Amino acid sequence: MSSYASIKNLGRSSIFEDEGKLDVSYVPPMLPHRESQYGSLLQTFRGIIDNPGKVGPKAIIVGRIGTGKTALSQRFGLDLEAMAKERGSLRLQYVHVNCHLLRGSLALILTEVISRFFPNFPRRGLSSEELLQTLMKVLDEEDAYLLLALDDAEVLIQREGPASLYDLTRIHEGRLNKPLRLGLILILREAWVLSTLDQATLSTLQRNIIRLPAYGRNELFDILRYRASLALKKNAISEESLGLIADLCASEGDARFAIEILLRAGKGAERYGNQRVLPEHVREAYGSLGYPPSLLDYLRSIGLHEKLLLLAVVKELQASPEKAYVTMGSVERSYNMVCEERGEQPRSHTQLWKYMATLSAIGLVSTKISGEGQRGKTTLIGMHYPASSMEKAVLENL
């Protein structure tokens, strides 16, 4: 290949169409399995569009890391802005602020919000009370409405105390006969934070609490398939590989973690020059996040035939790179071959099941019952970590 051709192809990805669609800051057009929560936000805040100046709605979004809190708020806020623009004369701005990044300071938060309207607004010199009044004055002068989302709001509450939220939630009460210009979304990881608020503040917030449960395995799969359709080239990843990521992340239900594994797996496939993300790339991506020390301890402690059975799982997975799981029957056949190669007498079928149960219980393998697409029910065996590195670790401990 000529130097010109090499330069021309530099940066071209064999896997990604647009890897930015897997970035943590990307807001996708749709949010699978968050449609009902989106509808709740729309029901709460549509009065800003239908009756501007007559309502100042508030809502709380609560959910663990990876449940889509930030994406839900941002997608809704951007859509509400677009709806306002369609009305022509209504100026509505959605501002999303991360309280953690601004050290939980209400003054810094309000300064950041005001700077969205006036970029040269001075960053120091005013108290939070003065800044809040300045913000409302700006909104009046601009004839604008603000939907403010405070992400990681517990950081604000912990630093400034309940009074900070009281001021935000009650700002309209001191503006008699003036339009209600501020809508508020609080984003929290834990609902218990609400118990730290005084009753006056809580009474204005608890009417609209939107809870985001952790995603289930099938929900994670849908999210991954959708994101892959946006970010990866067509057919660059199999449903087998997507399903493995969903399985790996199902216990926590963390979509952000699942998307990070998808990105890393794509990068790994690209690094090896593959045109497709295989289950082994997924296992490598997951393993790159660090092995629990207990796994290596367990590996050193298990018996010889448990190690040989584990080696058989590794060999079957390596022999079928497109597969995330292999059958117990194929593993048993491979185990018999491993024993023959090493001059060991194979253990009984019943004993192998006991060994496999041990390996699964300590996390060296994963097991599940086959589902659709296969006749009958059979046990499928997989692995969370790269087969190549597991093989190396087993051989070192034989």
Return the CATH number at 131.
3.40.50.300
Average pLDDT of the segment spanning 150-158: 91
pLDDT of residue 293: 60
260: left (phi over 0), alpha (psi -120 to 50) or beta: alpha
Rounded Cα gap, residues 38 and 140, in angstroms: 29
Same domain, 191 and 223: no
Residue 342 forms part of a structural domain: yes
In this prediction, residue 11 has a pLDDT band, given cuts at 50, 70 and 90, of: low
Mean pLDDT score of the chain, rounded to an integer? 89
pLDDT of residue 5: 42
CATH code where residue 368 lies: 1.10.10.10
Same domain, 303 and 278: no
Same domain, 357 and 262: no
Rounded Cα gap, residues 126 and 112, in angstroms: 13
Q: Is the pLDDT of residue 236 over 90?
A: yes
Residue 8 forms part of a structural domain: no
Q: Is the pLDDT of residue 175 over 90?
A: no
In this prediction, residue 292 has a pLDDT band, given cuts at 50, 70 and 90, of: low
Does 392 or 226 have the greater pLDDT score?
Answer: 226
Same domain, 272 and 297: no
% the chain with pLDDT above 70: 94
Same domain, 302 and 374: yes
Q: What is the domain extent for residue 275?
A: 216-287
Contact 148, 97 (CB under 8 A): yes
Burial class (CB in 10 A: 0-12, 13-18, 19+), 89: exposed
Residue 48 forms part of a structural domain: yes
Q: Is the pLDDT of residue 1 over 70?
A: no
Average pLDDT of the segment spanning 363-386: 80
Q: Which of 106-115, 295-304, 378-387 has the lowest mean pLDDT?
A: 295-304
Rounded Cα gap, residues 243 and 223, in angstroms: 11
Burial class (CB in 10 A: 0-12, 13-18, 19+), 343: exposed
CATH code where residue 276 lies: 1.10.8.60
pLDDT of residue 211: 95
Of 255, 287, 319, which residue is a domain's last? 287
Residue 150 forms part of a structural domain: yes
Q: Is the pLDDT of residue 6 over 50?
A: no
Same domain, 139 and 40: yes
pLDDT of residue 313: 97
Average pLDDT of the segment spanning 41-51: 94
User: Beta-carbon neighbour count of residue 397 at 10 Å?
Assistant: 14
Contact 249, 51 (CB under 8 A): no
Same domain, 78 and 204: yes
Same domain, 95 and 165: yes
Average pLDDT of the segment spanning 257-262: 95
Q: Are strands 209-212 and 58-63 parallel, antiparallel or unpaired?
A: parallel
> What's the structural domain count of the chain?
3
Which H or E run includes 63? strand 58-63
Same domain, 263 and 283: yes
Same domain, 276 and 298: no
Give the tens place of pLDDT for each residue, 104-136.
899 999 999 999 988 888 777 789 999 999 999
Residue 45 forms part of a structural domain: yes
Does 348 or 120 have the greater pLDDT score?
Answer: 348
Residue 21 forms part of a structural domain: no
Q: Is the pLDDT of residue 3 over 50?
A: no
Same domain, 114 and 239: no
Average pLDDT of the segment spanning 289-300: 70
pLDDT of residue 8: 46
Question: For the whole prediction, is pTM greater than 0.95?
Answer: no
Average pLDDT of the segment spanning 229-238: 96
Same domain, 91 and 203: yes
% the chain with pLDDT above 90: 65
Residue 346 forms part of a structural domain: yes
Residue 154 forms part of a structural domain: yes
Average pLDDT of the segment spanning 98-108: 90
Helix (H, G, I), strand (E, B) or coil at 335: helix
Of 212, 228, 243, which residue is a domain's last? 212
Of 287, 315, 333, which residue is a domain's last? 287
